[in-house]
Amino acid sequence: MVKKTPHKIRFTDVILMKALTYISIVLFTTISSFSSAQVTFEAKVSKQKLGVNERLRVDFEMNKDGDNFNPPSFESFTVVGGPSQSISNSWINGVKSFSKTYSYFLAPKKRGNFTIGQATIEIDGETFKTLPVTVTVTAAVDKPKDPNDPDYIVNQNIHLVAEVSKTNPYLNEAITVVYKLFVSENTGVSNWRELDIPRYNDFWSQNIDIKGIKIQNGTYKGEDYRYVVLRKTVLYPQKSGLLEIEPLTLDITVDVPTNRRDIFGGRLMQSVHRTVAAGKRTINVKPLPEAGKPINFSGAVGDFDFNVTTSKTTLRATEALEAKVQVSGNGNLKLFKLPVLTLPSALEVYEPEHNEKISVSLRGMSGQSSDAYTIVPSYQGKYPIPSITFSYFSLKEKRYKTLSSGELVVDVTEGPVNNNSQAVSSTKQNILSTGSQFASFKTKTNFLNTKRTTFFNSLSFWMLLLVPFLAIPVAVILRRKQEMRRGDTVGNRIRTGNKLARKYLREAKKTLGSKESFYNALERALHNYLKSKLNIETSDFSKEKIQELLQTKSAKDAAISQFIELLTNCEMARYAPFSNVEMEQDYNKASNVISLIDRQIK
C-alpha cells in the first residue's frame, strides 16, 4: 500500500495539469476573439504644434469597415486636400488585420489653440465617435530648403500675381486686374482650383471670359517662367480713397519627386496639394474735381458723343414718332442716367424704353446707351422739342465737358385743331378743315357666319367614337412587348450594365480637370461595362485575364489593346501627372472602345 500511494498522486497531478492546460487554451482563445472583435475608431494628427504657414494632416482610422462617415467641421482651418481614402488588409501569423483611413490636409486660418471635433461613423449598426484633438498654431516658421519639399517648391517656383493696370484712378475710371500663375521651368503643376474668389467691395466689376488656358513664356523678377492667365476683371471704383482688392486664392496640385523609382530608374512623382494667394492690392482712388462741375452732371466719366434724334419730323395727328436720346463712346456707360427729354404738354408721351449695346473689354465699357420715347400728337401744329444737355468728365482732358442736342421741331400737318388759347404754333395761320379728321376711325364692318353646326354625325364625332376601338390592339401589343422585355433577363442585365457605363462616363465627363475623380469614374465605367457583358466581377481580375475573356468573346485585338490601355491609364493616374488634354482624349477613347467592343463580342 505504501508503494501504490505515490503512484496514484502522480497520476492525479497529470490529469489536473492537462485540465488546466485545456482551460487556459479556451480562455486565451475567447480573450483573443473578443479583443479581435473590438472596434477602434480614432483621430490622429501629423503634429500637435505647427506654424500658420504649415499644413496639418488629420487621419481618421478604424479597424473595421463602416458607413455614413461624417467628419468634423474644421471651422478654424481651410481644407486644402481630401478626403482621401486608403484601405489596408494584411495577414500576420494567420491572423487577418484590417485598417481603413480617411485623410484630410488642413491649412490654419490664424494663430491660437484649436480643437478638431469628433468624427462619427456607423459600424454594424452602432455609431462610433473619435475623441477631440487639440493643436497649437504659432507664428510662421522657417522651413528647410529641401528641393523635394512641397512647401519649398511652391514658395520658390510658383507665384500667383495680380497685375493692376492703374493704382491711382479717378472715381468711375476703368482699371483692370489680370491674375497670372507663374511656374518655373522644372516644376510640375497638374491642376488647380479656386479656393477663395475676391469680392470687389466698393467696385463695379465684370469678369472677361477667357477662351481656353494658353501657356505662355514670360519673366518673373528677371527670371524665365511659364505662365497662364487665369482671370481678367474690369473694375470701376465707386468711392474715393484707399480701396483694397481682395486676393485670389488657389489650391494647386504640385508634382513632387519621391525616393521611389520606376523600372527604368526614373524617379516617380507624387501629387500634393498646396495653397497660393495673389496678395492684397491697394488702390488710391482720386475724387472728381469740384471746380467746374456742371449742375446736371450725373457721374459720367470717359469720352462720349451725345445726340437726340426723331424717326420723323412731319406727320399727321394720331400717328406716332420715336425720339431717341443716345450717349455713345467709351466710359462707365452702365453707371449713369441719361438726360430726360422735356416735351410740350400737347404731345402724348409714353415711358421711355431703355436699350444698351455695351461690350466690356480690358479697355473698359464701350458702346451706346439710349432711351426711346414714343410720342403721339393729337392736334395740328408745329411742336418744338427743346434742346437738352449732357455733361461728363473727360479723362483725356481732365476737365468737365457739356454737349447740347439742339432744338428739333415736329410738324403735324393734318388733324383736329387745338382751340386752346395757348397756341403751340409759332405763327398764326388759317386752318381749313379737310373733312378727313375722322379718317383714322373704322367705318366698314366685316360680318361673320354665326350658323351653328351640330356635333352629331360630324367628322369629330366619328373619330372620337373609333379611337377607343383602335387603342385596344395597340395596348395589347405594347403589353406583350413589355412582358417579353421583363422576361429577357440577359438583355435586361446588358441594358443595366450599359446604363451604368453611360452613367459613369457622364460622371467622368463632369470631373474633367480633376484627375483622381475623373479616372476613378472612368475605371468604374469600364468595369461595369464588362460586368454586364461577361456576367462576372471584372474588378477581381487582372488585365491579362480580362484580355483572355474578351478574346474568347471574339473581340478584336485592336479594340482589346485600347481597352487595356485605358485601364492602365486609370492605374497610372494615381502616381503620374495627367493633363486636361490627356483626360479628354481618354474619355473619347473610352466612348469609342465601348461602342466598338459592343459590336464585336458574341
Q: What is the pLDDT of residues 486-525, one digit of tens each?
A: 666 555 555 655 665 676 677 777 777 777 778 888 888 8
Mean pLDDT of 377-381: 87
Query: 150-285 maps to which CATH number?
Result: 2.60.40
pLDDT (mean) for 24-51: 68
Question: pLDDT tens, 180-195?
Answer: 999 887 777 878 888 7
> Residue 511 phi/psi, 5° resolution?
-100, 15
Per-residue pLDDT tens digits for 152-179: 666 778 889 999 999 999 999 999 999 9
Q: What is the percentage of the chain residues whose pLDDT exceeds 70?
A: 76
Question: CA–CA distance from 42 to each of 33, 102, 104, 419 (Å)?
Answer: 21, 11, 14, 96
Q: Evaluate if residue 101 carries a pLDDT over 80.
A: yes
Q: Which of 12-26, 137-151, 259-273 has the highest mean pLDDT?
A: 259-273
The confidence band for 339, taking pLDDT boundaries of 50, 70 and 90, is very high
3-state SS track over 418-440: CCCCCCCCCCCCCCCCCCCCCCC
Strands 389-394 and 301-310 turn out to be parallel
What are the tens digits of pLDDT across the range 474-497? 888 887 777 776 666 555 555 655
Q: Which CATH number among 2.60.40.10, 2.60.40.740, 3.40.50.720, 2.20.25.90 corresponds to the domain 41-138? A: 2.60.40.740
State yes or no: pLDDT of 1 exceeds 60.
no
Count the neighbouring beta carbons within 10 Å of the beta carbon of residue 460: 8
Fold topology of 301-412: Immunoglobulin-like (2.60.40)
Q: Which of 174, 183, 160, 164 is nearest to 230 (CA)?
A: 160
In this predicted model, what pLDDT tens digit does every residue of 392-418 receive, in sequence order? Answer: 999 999 999 999 998 899 898 887 877
* Helices (H) then strands (E): counts for the chain: 8, 30
Which of 76-80, 83-87, 146-150 reaches the highest mean pLDDT? Answer: 76-80
pLDDT in tens, 276-332: 888 788 999 999 999 999 999 999 999 999 999 999 889 888 888 999 999 999 999
Q: Is 551 helix (H, G, I), strand (E, B) or coil?
A: helix
Angstrom CA distances, 292 to 110, 170, 296, 402, 593, stand at: 50, 16, 12, 11, 73
Name the residue with higher pLDDT: 601 or 59.
Answer: 59
Identical fold between 41-138 and 301-412: yes
Which pLDDT belongs to residue 479?
79
Q: What is the pLDDT of residue 33?
A: 44
- Domain ranges for the chain: 41-138, 150-285, 301-412, 489-600
Which pLDDT belongs to residue 273? 78
In the three-class reduction of DSSP (H, G, I as helix; E, B as strand; rest coil), residue 407 is classed as: coil
Once rounded to an integer, what is the mean pLDDT over residues 78-97? 75
The x, y and z cell numbers of residue 391, run together, are 455733361
Quickly tell me which residue has 514670360 as its cell: 218
Mean pLDDT of 539-563: 78
- Which pLDDT does position 171 carry in this prediction? 94
Residue 559 neighbours by CB under 8 Å, 6+ apart: 550, 593, 596, 597, 600
Q: For 209-225, what is the mean pLDDT?
A: 86
Name the residue among 175, 167, 174, 170 with its Cα closest to residue 280: 167
Is pLDDT of 598 > 80?
no
Q: pLDDT tens digits, residue range 357-373?
A: 999 998 899 999 999 99
Provide long-range contacts, Cβ within 8 A and 24+ apart, for 90-95. 95/36
Element (H, E) at 82: strand 77-92
HEC string for 215-276: CEEEEECCEEEEEEEEEEEEEEECCCEEEEECCCEEEEEEEEEEEEECCCCCEEEEEEEEEE
Greatest Cα pair distance, the chain, in angstroms, is 168
Please list, in sequence order, all residues whose beta carbon lies within 8 angstroms of the beta carbon of residue 217, skipping any fewer than 6 positions away.
224, 225, 226, 227
Q: What is the mean pLDDT of residues 569-581?
A: 67
Q: Under CATH, to which class is 489-600 assigned?
A: mainly alpha
